[in-house]
A and B are shown apart, each in its own frame.
Chain A
């Protein structure tokens, strides 16, 4: 996909996306990247570096926890999972993003 059409993500929304992704179940970092790419039909290109920073930061805050495990092809991988605190974050951040998007739309639709 041509680079000019890639949308750049705001910092906070990446966290939101990762949290939502993990709400489907425990995943390793690569799995999260792939999921986001597939679900957004390649529209959102997440920079992997940023993804891992987001994952580790959220782990430090206690929204997700990590565990080493075996991947589908028997390789050692680090799996992440939501905590109850993380679920609360997901709910509140979703709501906030929704109202933010709604507000932006309202302005755009006036034109």
Chain B
């Protein structure tokens, strides 16, 4: 503002309401007194002049009020403008600071970006598993999954999600607290025939399923109750969106096309909206009515039989009904109409759980993954805290470096709040850059995660969505607060005078705040490292779990020949042909036929044992029977522990024999040898079974996943047909090219099966998949889908949650370690820089390089050591909670703790050596002269 000559600004404009009033009074008083002066000069008396002046003025009081109003509004406008221009200045200064020290800024942004990114990724995982309702589901909070809890004679109290079609109908008809009940199941099915035969994921759902979820079709319509009622449903199918795009090019005239799924031809009546996966997270290709599939697979009594528990149920709660009320009412309904065994069971209950599968009762795979995800959430928070501590440390160092400048500005009257605000603006700019980086990390990190670890979960519409952005906003605010708190505190309590003194350096007085931050960083890093070690060992143990068979070199092939209406004898002939042909294929060591695939199918029949009154049945059920050809044990690498395996002598007409699993032998005849004993397989009261002699004992096969419980299993020769059998599978053992088992490789790819850790043996086995498929297809034309896979692929899904934990914990552990190392390095560098004078004095006084190095390193290592100790204690305390997530690893083992602590100390050593060495290069003469 330019002023005319003669008028100078001597006072600042006063603020405050009373000041405004004073201003106005002064102004009016000046006016009145000037008028009085003039009048007196023209000859009036003082009193007359005053009276006249007041009269001329008008109502002074009213004037004051009005002027007050104007002045106050004016003042507010000025203050607002000043505030905005101040903020603009702050931003300008922040950007200038960015340009001046890009390295510092980049480091800070990277640190925070990593912390934020890690949190975003784990939030995405936890969100998908635990919180987010499945796509296209309306009002997911009102939907419940239904579970049935009962006491079984051999299982004890058990909760199961699976039930019969009859139970579904009962609940749907009679329950008053559930407004609509639906049943669903899913399985793999064969689509088409011959060369175009394919595997699809088939969703088998009742018509009420779509109603309960509230989903609308993208094209066409869903099927209704009329088309899905027992005894006969209508064969219609709804396509998945991506399936429709991929196989029909998104053509709108797909409605009415016929698809051969399994053994039935379905007419397409609609397309589901994009990303719809029902209530689960896995992809589904086609949706078919439950009644149609049930009739095809189970026969015409599917709606009345209580033998097949294959459906899961969901229901919508009626409004104003609580979960507890619904549970009680549903229990009453179920017990009223269920079979007598349930009616007599006083522990029988119906349980309801939220729609997310990971939140259901029991130890399902997804429940475990959900727990791991929750833990990872906590862990990523730790990483963020470490990152914030790092950033705070760096900002604090800068604040301390700028003490003199800050002191001057405060002395000039800028005000600490103003400086603090500038700090906040700087922090905001930094965190914004970090957040942008975090989104990038989250996008690629989550994509990678889904490709490698969470393969069966449909990734859906990408990673970035409103919930994640909301979470990011909260995380950003938290980060800002945590990062700016220490430098803010430092700034606000800074004593001005000492900082203005020339040569003001810290000397020996270390900022306690910085040390505290570094200490917390060390603690968290150690905890993360220990956690990572535990999980990696857990994964190792799980991967080395002895399933009994060799999953790496064995393939299993099966074809659903029932779809071709072949008789059992013809099917058997097919497999025998296959066995011979494949045995001659190069690369194949041996082949065998069995009646069951491990982990997928199992079968039990009536069983008695010599001298045993009641056969003990463990929770896994059984005893399970498998019919095998003589080469089976050799092909699947199941060791024979006693006696012998089957031979070609054991065929129809010769004495029936059996081979028992080792646990079964132990449980039936403890302390004795099972060889030579009789077992009675099959048969009933009318047709008692003949004695099958036990000729061998083999090691157990873990057919129920990675659990360490007893299994009852036994084998009989396929050729002897001691029980009726109509299912077959072909087993193939690959020749191993390399003798060592150690070559591991990680392959990533778009294909669902491609991303897995493979040993060189796996690669040999995998290479046989195509040749074996071709051999089988050559036996007969027009085959339905030929399913050939390496046994490892059956084992992999079991390992997934441990793999998830191990990979992510390790990543976070390394991240935390990196951040702690950066923190240590930066603090010591800065300490050295600020103590150059002291170093100069020491060296001038004759200190050796070694002494200087030791001095500096002692500082750093002291903090690191303290952090290690506290970190170990903390981790030990927390280990109790993490124990259920580990496989075969006792959290009290000392090795992981030692490893974690040792790694941090080693890194700390490295991080302290460099600045320490720099301290020895100080030139005493230069430093002593400088200020």
Q: Which of B30, B62, B71 contacts A49 (CB 8 A)?
A: B62
Assess A52 versus B7: contact at CB under 8 Å? Given A30-B35, A60-B77: no
- Could you tell me which residues of chain B, from 26 to 51, have a CB within 8 Å of some CB in chain A? 26-28, 30-31, 33-35, 38
Q: Which residue of B lies closest to A71 (CB)?
A: B30
Cα distance A75–B36 when bound, in Å? 14
| B30, closest chain A residue (CB) | A77
- Tell me, rounded to whole Å, the shortest Cβ–Cβ distance linking A50 to chain B: 7
Contact with B along A47-70 (1 / 0, CB 8 A): 111101100110110000101111
Given A30-B35, A53-B63, A78-B27: A47 and B58 interface contact (C-beta under 8 Å): yes
Alpha-carbon distance between A71 and B23 when the two chains are bound, in angstroms = 15
Give Cα distance in the complex from A50 to B247, angstroms: 85
Tell me, in angstroms, the Cα distance from A78 to B28 when the chains sit together: 10
Tell me whether A79 and B7 are in contact (CB under 8 A).
yes
- Please indicate the chain B residues that have their CB under 8 angstroms from the CB of A26 in the complex: 3-4, 7
Q: A50-B58, A78-B27 are in contact. Are A30 and B34 (CB under 8 A)?
A: yes
A-B contact count (CB 8 A): 83
A52 touches B9 (CB 8 A): no
B62 nearest in chain A by CB position: A49
In the complex, what residues of B have CB within 8 A of residue A29's CB? 27, 30-31
Query: Does B444 count as interface, using CB distance less than 8 angstroms?
Result: no
**Chain B positions 59-83 with a Cβ under 8 Å from a chain A Cβ:** 59-60, 62-63, 66-67, 70-71, 73-74, 77
Please encode chain B, from 1 to 27, with 1 for each CB lying within 8 Å of some chain A CB and 0 for all others. Answer: 101100111110100000000010011
Inter-subunit contact A56/B60 (CB<8 Å): no
User: What CA separation (Å) do A81 and B6 show in the bound complex?
Assistant: 13
What is the CA–CA distance of A79 and B74 in the complex, to the nearest angstrom?
16
Contact A52 B63 (CB under 8 A): yes
Cα-based distance from A65 to B3 in the complex (angstroms) = 11
Asked whether, in the complex, the Cβ of B31 is within 8 Å of the Cβ of A69, the reply is no
B10 lies within 8 A of A49 (CB):
no
Residues of A within 8 A of B7 (CB): 26, 67, 69, 79
Instruction: Give the complex CA separation of A81 and B9 in angstroms.
Output: 13
A106 at the interface (CB under 8 A from B): no
B58 touches A60 (CB 8 A): no
Bound Cα distance A60, B74 (Å)? 5
Could you tell me the distance in whole angstroms from the C-beta of B1 to the nearest C-beta in chain A?
7
Residue of A nearest to B7 (CB): A69
Whether B30 contacts A28 by the Cβ 8 Å rule is: yes
Q: Is the CB of A2 closer than 8 A to any CB of chain B?
A: no
Q: Which residue of A is nearest B8, CB measured?
A: A69
A59 to B71, CA, bound (A): 8
- With both beta carbons as reference points, the residue of chain B lying nearest to A81 in the complex is identified as B4
Which of B31, B38, B67 is A56 in contact with, Cβ under 8 Å?
B67
Compute how far the CA of A69 lies from the CA of B62 in the bound complex, rounded to whole angstroms.
Answer: 26
Q: Are B59 and A59 interface neighbours, CB within 8 A?
A: no
B154 part of interface (Cβ distance < 8 Å): no
Question: What are the 3 tightest A-B residue pairs by CB atom distance, in nearest-first order?
Answer: A49-B58, A56-B70, A48-B57
> B residues bordering A, Cβ < 8 Å?
1, 3-4, 7-11, 13, 23, 26-28, 30-31, 33-35, 38, 56-60, 62-63, 66-67, 70-71, 73-74, 77
- 19 residue pairs of the A-B complex, CB under 8 angstroms, read A28-B27, A28-B30, A30-B30, A48-B56, A48-B58, A49-B57, A49-B60, A53-B66, A53-B67, A59-B70, A67-B3, A68-B9, A68-B11, A68-B13, A69-B9, A70-B8, A70-B10, A78-B23, A78-B27
Residue ranges of A at the interface with B (Cβ–Cβ < 8 Å): 25-26, 28-30, 33-34, 45, 47-50, 52-53, 56-57, 59-60, 65, 67-71, 75-79, 81
Starting from the known contacts A67-B7, A81-B3, 7 additional A-B residue pairs (CB-CB under 8 Å) come to A26-B3, A29-B31, A47-B56, A49-B59, A56-B66, A68-B9, A69-B10
